[in-house]
Structure 1
């Protein structure tokens, strides 16, 4: 080949490389990863995963999240989310579905498998750019089959309502706290327990006082034989429900108690009444022992007991972990949160539920 032909070939090769680089710079490139080990909870007789999928757009162009599938290792689908349903589960503003260039979002996922869960799952994400679709297949993620702690009731009597929802944008399920350079989600399995009367009301009267709450002053019980590893008292509370305000990060939990469970897990009780704590750090307690009373301290819209299990004794610094409750009498369920406080729940045939995590809206009696 002569010098002229060699030069022409070099120019052609360089030109193709440049075109390829320009094309790839405008093609969507998306990465996915699961932030924490996938731990199963048993809810309503089914094996359930509650976790977050972190999605990062590492390309120079915005992409539209159009679909997500959760599959087992063999490709069997368990959940399919079209664009509209997917957008309600992301942290994108205004329920949008467009992920900007070099941006990240979180997809909050709840997946029910039935009686048996797979040993691993994969994620298949479909994105759109310029009218074209690109499918990204994630790697296999193992599912932890170890059962979480089985706990006794944190309260007595009832009816008590398990208040939480995966769909609330500012609910516990979606609020990360930054600590030590890491974002943590302590409320992944948090429940706000609120007491109601036979008509589903949460207040005794319309005085507006915190003390008018049916939950206020209820005795809080140890959920296991355990050691108190953290306790805080002394944070005051507003007398009127409408006078409560947002608190700085360290005080958002109000007065609290944390118990060390087996396996490096901790049970945390928040919003306790000032002066009601009957235990201190270092004390050993027995299941069913009275620890304190429900109050109105910290960030709270109405008196209730916030309860969760995590891997940290600090209320806002752990990763929320699943657990189950032993022998709870299920009375019914609120299916419309707008009715809580004003109407009776939907009755179910009362029956004992054992070793399960309560469903949001469950109305129970702790015997």
Structure 2
């Protein structure tokens, strides 16, 4: 989604972050010291560990992926790696191949690789790593649902070095880097947080939306809290988001719609009392704890926490310690905090901190996929200017169970 509807606005936060070259290179243990290979007529060769290799880049995964089934029928592994250039001159990434042992699952090259790569603090796509710069590379490894989920992924990064230093750093080098374990767990199964037809998934899984590219520098590290976040807006029967003056929240028919608890669980934290923002204006001067606006954080169990953000002023109906039941009304859709149009920002995360956590996948137990908005550079942005929605051809309306919505899905959530 365009920044006007990006929920927590961590893209703005990251622009103020210093370069990431000072971050620890990796969390995996260092390889043991090389051992000498010897041979004798009786024993033959004795092999030690693989020899160490000088790598011009260092890297690590932001967090371990959790597989999730989406409305395209595919199983998605969604995660990011950071790559830091350790040299005093630029490097160019030619390709990155994601591997399950020796099987290539995804191969990104050229412009396609640039599409999924960003230098920290710079929003434009790139394959160039300047001296000491850190890039974040986003991945969406999609597999047929019947394919066995890998337990571990590795990354082969092919580099071009304009100032080679043979034999350590040749002109062309492929570096195996940033191995990451795939979590052997299922995503949490929940109910949708809204009711009724024509709810649009803005900024959700699994592309390069503002949610996906918003990595938050909080408490000394980067977090991808919004990795699977959805900004919900609702089309009216004519396929429009707004009728009347777009600077008034009441011009959005879904402003004030009920928000429902997605599952059973205790309320961890609540914020209410922040004023409604003026639609179309970018909020400024917000402290960190107000980016989510009026909001509720709920413990869903098993390390899953739900965030309901930008709630309408004065409508939060729960307090910390309350034990919610699935379907319970907790507030109304609003436009508070870092928001420039009424919407519900919903995400599941690994801790109760809306920004200092990693986003976790979730699946809805039951909903109807009605359509998908036509893909484009600003598919939703034009709707805020009064345009009618355009839809992708060939998307059959169907019931979905235990699936995650994809970005631009248009859905009906039944009353139950």
Scaled by the length of structure 1, what TM-score is found? Answer: 0.87
Residues 1:103 and 2:141 are matched in the alignment: no
1:62 aligns with: 90
Counterparts of residues 43-82 of structure 1 (less than 5 Å): 43=70, 44-73=72-101, 75-82=102-109
Cα RMSD, aligned residues only: 1.9
Q: CA deviation at 1:231?
A: 0.6
2:280 alignment counterpart: 242
**8 Å Cα contact 2:211/2:226 also seen in 1:** yes
Q: Go from structure 1 to structure 2 and tell me whether the alpha carbon gap of 1:30 and 1:268 turns closer, same or farther (over 3 Å shift).
A: same
Tell me what 1:346 maps to.
392
Structure 1 residue aligned with 2:15: none
| 2:262 paired residue number | 223
Cα deviation code 1:2-28 (max 9, x no counterpart): xxxxxxxxxxxxxxxxxxxxxxxxx96
Matched, 1:125 2:157: yes
- Name the CA distance, whole Å, in 2 between partners of 1:278 and 1:304: 18
Farther off after superposition, 185-194 or 116-125: 116-125
Match of 2:144 in 1: 114
CA-to-aligned-CA distance 1:167-219 (integer Å, 9 cap, x gap): 546x1111122222222121011000111123321113235311111221000
Q: How does 1:85-100 map to 2 (within 5 A)?
A: 85-92=112-119, 93=122, 94-100=124-130
| 5+ residue gaps, structure 1 | 1-26
Q: Distance in 1 between matches of 2:321 and 2:267?
A: 5
Look up the match of 1:5. Answer: none
Provide the TM-score with structure 2 as the length reference.
Answer: 0.77
Unpaired runs of 5+ residues, structure 2, are 1-53, 164-170
Counterpart CA distance in 1 for 2:254 and 2:246 is 15
Q: 1:225 to 1:89 in 2, by over 3 A?
A: same
Q: Structure 1 284/31 Cα, relative in aligned 2: closer, same or farther at 3 Å?
A: same
Largest Rg, 1 or 2: 1
Structure with more of its chain in helix, by fraction: 1
Alignment partner of 1:356 is 2:395:
no
Do 1:28 and 1:57's aligned partners in 2 also have CA atoms closer than 8 Å?
no
